[in-house]
Chains A and B, each alone.
Chain A
């Protein structure tokens, strides 16, 4: 079956701009989690959605937001981009909490 897909794969933005990243989970998966990965901090949890509801949110400023649609596809938005937002953004889908997560290839965001 098709894996998790993320678009776009690479993105270059300037400070102050806004960006929207998209994630399509594996068919049938209703849980989608988003992570920010940077060399120094590893994988940091952004938020998790299940059946269009945000179940939890990590310790990120309100500039980071997300949503999930009825087909389980998810988007995350970062407004007023800062240089420190440069990172690999990964989404992962799963059946539910105690099931393995399948990660997408990520979106590499560079803020200049």
Chain B
């Protein structure tokens, strides 16, 4: 099942902070975050694994609540370059590999 992202869209001014949430109805093994700018391919931001391991960029922070099957992406001191659509992808583990993405959160950072 597709994870639910909130908010669907957010508008910020440079320097402001934002939180994007991702919620799943299934038990999760990992949560992946990607950003896609208009007309471009999605780029990797972070992976959060069950058990606490994280892989990603130093300037990006996120949390993963395994019990609640929720993850949040924290964008602090936003820059114009942060604008884009943010997708969370969830994976439930096991021998099969299927990354299911949410519908995305459109983030716009204005000067």
Show the binding face of A for B, using Cβ within 8 Å.
4, 31, 33, 35, 41-45, 48, 50, 55-56, 58, 90, 92, 97-106
CB nearest to B2 among chain A residues: A42
- Using A33-B99, A45-B98, A55-B95 as known contacts, list a sample of 19 further A-B pairs with CB atoms less than 8 Å apart, ordered by residue number in A: A4-B41, A31-B97, A33-B97, A42-B102, A43-B87, A44-B101, A48-B97, A48-B98, A55-B96, A92-B42, A97-B30, A97-B91, A97-B97, A100-B44, A100-B55, A100-B56, A101-B32, A101-B99, A105-B40
Closest to A103 in B: B41
Question: Which residue from B41, B56, B87, B96 sits with its C-beta under 8 Å from A42?
Answer: B87
Per the 8 Å Cβ criterion, residues 71-107 of B in contact with A are 87, 89, 91, 95-104
**B 47-75 to A, binary, CB cutoff 8 A, 1 in contact else 0:** 10100000110000000000000000000
Residue numbers in A under 8 Å from B101 (CB-CB): 35, 42-45
A35 to B42, CA, bound (A): 11
Which residues of chain B come closer than 8 Å to A92, judged between CB atoms?
Answer: 42
**Contact residues on B (Cβ < 8 Å of other chain), bracket:** 20 to 34
Tell me, rounded to whole Å, the shortest Cβ–Cβ distance linking B83 to chain A. Answer: 18
Instruction: Enumerate 28 A-B pairs (CB-CB under 8 Å) in ascending A order.
Output: A33-B97, A42-B101, A42-B103, A42-B104, A43-B42, A44-B101, A45-B98, A45-B100, A48-B99, A50-B97, A55-B95, A55-B97, A56-B96, A56-B98, A97-B91, A98-B47, A98-B49, A98-B55, A99-B55, A100-B32, A100-B44, A100-B47, A100-B55, A100-B56, A101-B32, A101-B99, A103-B43, A104-B41
Residues of A within 8 A of B42 (CB): 43, 90, 92, 103
Q: Which residues of B are found within 8 Å of A48, using beta-carbon distances?
A: 97-99
CA distance A93 to B49 in the complex (A): 19
Residues of A near B44 (CB, < 8 A) are 100-102
Interface centre among B40, B44, B56 (most CB of A within 10 A): B44
Tell me the minimal C-beta distance from A57 to chain B in angstroms: 8
Q: How far is the CB of A2 from chain B (nearest CB, A)?
A: 14
Query: How near does chain B come to A22, taking the closest CB pair, in angstroms?
Result: 16
- A41-B103 in contact given A90-B42, A100-B32 (Cβ < 8 Å): yes
